[in-house]
Amino acid sequence: MIQSNNHLSPFKHLKDDLPAGLVVFLVALPLCLGIALASGAPLFAGLISGIIGGLVVGALSGSPLGVSGPAAGLAVIVLNAITELGSFEIFLVAVILAGVIQLVMGFAKAGIIAYFFPSSVIHGMLAGIGVIIFLKQIPHALGYDKVPEGDFSFNQRDGHNTIEELLHTMSFISPGVLIVSGLSLVLLILWESNFMKKLKFTKLVQGPLVVVVVGIILNKLFAGSAQLAISADHLVKVPVPDSFDSFIGNFAVPDFTGLSNPAVYTTAIVIAVVASLETLLCVEASDKLDKLKRITPTNRELKAQGVGNILAGLIGGLPLTQVIVRSSANHQSGGKTKASAIIHGVLLVLSVLAIPTVLNMIPLGVLAAILLVVGYKLAKPATFMKMYRDGLGQFVPFTITVLGIVFTDLLMGIALGMAVAIFIILKNNFMAPFKMMKDGVEGKHDIKLLLSEDVTFLNKASVLKALQEIPKGSNVLIDASHTKFIHYDVVEIIENFVKSTESRKIKVSVVGLYDDKQDSPDPAFQIK
């Protein structure tokens, strides 16, 4: 069933994928430009990567909902690398090499790494991204755009952190932008209501398209008002080429003399590792969003990302990854197949070639409203309640991941969540390697220690503690008959316990300890 769902025909679902591709395009456009600005790269470099992520990676990938493009998580790495390497053209060589490394990783089947992340951390990643998207869009919705779209770090480029920025924004509210974003938000919420969903035209005309048109109209209407006019700083800024030559001039060619610079190879490895990890995490997250529960082939995804980064490096683009913001927008807009990702790439091309002037009329407040809805859906309170009902073993790593992403960045938040999840696993292993049953009559103790199926070196401490606390004069049965694997370290602890029982007047019997269950038992030691 999963296999058949993974190959839905794109041509049969265009009625779903076309509007979803449009929404992803509207979300991706400012992010491509903002991430390029945050990376210290030419603005057009972000658009190049967005186009490649849609057309090339979208076609090669097996991810039904994933959308690729320039990633906020790489912005700091790119900024530092361009400065260290001395030029953007030399940096492009590192991007090409990173793509080659990803190709090799794909053929080496390194995509299996994705399956080692617990669901609590992946759900925490989605919710954390939702919270940070929501918080980061509030200034744009109020008309304060000093921090570009795509800056998702807690400590921002303008010297404020995310929380301080919200307070600082209150002194710079733009009435025109506030009206546009507020009306856009109302329309988007209205479009999601059950009443509107019953109307046929709402299935053909998506809410985001409506608010974009309304935003452009209001921008024109407010132009004559001193109080409500929306300045150019609060509008989308797509580069407008004066001629074909100026358009071609936006592309950059890598400087292959950089191959003699060792720092280029170091940068390539860092980009490949971080981009691959972020992609695999987003693959896991987007698969969890998928209502059809399709599974993305992760090795194929790494190969697709590798090809995309090689091409990006060759023509002047930023390194790209699969991006959860675009992917979640795709899912929430009703995307069914990877055709929506390709459509978003086509729209990016058309926007650059044909309608950059029209796009530059769109207020950023409109796009902020769209992303506010996306962020809320990712981090809605019901998600937190569900994780809490699933128990502390799920809720704690989930919460730590959310807080880590909000107060640091994506990868650090995931690392913190993983650390907590691993700690809980270790704690559970420590507590449950055996069952101890006791029966005591007149000072005599009959104790049965029933070992579980797998007893690893992580259980050494708990087994040792239990054996040390057995009272003198007890009759002990250590039962390993149901155990499939027991680590030699634990066997050694049991053997040492047996040797010490004579002085403690303990009678011990051991059942099924050996039988090739551990790597190297002491053949000279025999338990009677």
Identify whether residues 312 and 213 lie together within a single domain.
yes
- 528 secondary structure, DSSP code: -
Identify whether residues 460 and 401 lie together within a single domain.
no
Q: Each residue's pLDDT tens digit in the chain (528 positions)?
A: 333 345 667 677 888 899 899 989 988 888 888 888 878 888 899 999 999 999 999 999 999 999 999 987 788 789 889 989 999 999 999 999 999 999 999 999 998 887 788 888 989 988 998 898 899 889 999 998 887 776 777 888 777 888 888 888 898 899 999 999 999 999 999 988 888 877 777 766 778 888 889 999 999 999 988 899 999 888 888 878 777 777 788 899 999 999 999 999 999 999 999 899 989 988 988 988 888 888 899 999 999 999 999 999 999 999 999 988 899 889 888 899 999 999 999 999 988 887 788 888 989 898 889 889 888 988 989 999 999 998 888 999 999 999 999 998 878 898 999 999 888 877 776 665 666 666 654 445 688 888 887 787 777 878 888 888 888 888 888 888 888 888 888 888 888 888 888 777 888 888 888 765 554 444 434 443
Residue 379 located in a structural domain: yes
Residue 222 located in a structural domain: yes
Long-range contacts of 441-449 (CB under 8 A, 24+ apart): 443/473, 444/473, 444/474, 444/475, 445/470, 445/471, 445/473, 445/474, 445/475, 446/474, 446/475, 446/477, 447/474, 447/475, 447/476, 447/477, 448/476, 448/477, 448/479, 449/476, 449/477, 449/478, 449/479
- pLDDT per position as a tens digit, 324-339: 889 988 988 889 999 9
Q: Which of 374, 391, 417 is the endpoint of a domain?
A: 417
**CA nearest neighbour of 377 among 526, 511, 189:** 189
Identify whether residues 473 and 412 lie together within a single domain.
no
Start-to-end Cα distance in the chain: 54
- What is the count of structural domains for the chain? 2
- pLDDT per position as a tens digit, 439-498: 654 445 688 888 887 787 777 878 888 888 888 888 888 888 888 888 888 888 888 888
Identify whether residues 314 and 398 lie together within a single domain.
yes
Residue 428 located in a structural domain: no
Cβ contact 177:363 at 8 Å: yes
Identify whether residues 488 and 347 lie together within a single domain.
no
Identify whether residues 445 and 399 lie together within a single domain.
no
Residue 413 located in a structural domain: yes
Identify whether residues 78 and 109 lie together within a single domain.
yes
Tell me how far the alpha carbon of residue 7 is from its chain's centroid: 24
Residue 4 located in a structural domain: no
Residue 486 bridge partners (DSSP): 455
The continuous run of DSSP H or E covering 69 comes out as strand 68-70
* Token reading at 17: 């994928």
Identify whether residues 281 and 316 lie together within a single domain.
yes
Identify whether residues 328 and 462 lie together within a single domain.
no
Residue 209 located in a structural domain: yes
Domain at 474, CATH number = 3.30.750.24
Cβ contact 136:152 at 8 Å: yes
Please name the amino acid found at residue 316: G
Cβ contact 370:256 at 8 Å: no
φ, ψ dihedrals at 379, nearest 5°: -125, 35
**Full domain range(s) for residue 206:** 15-417
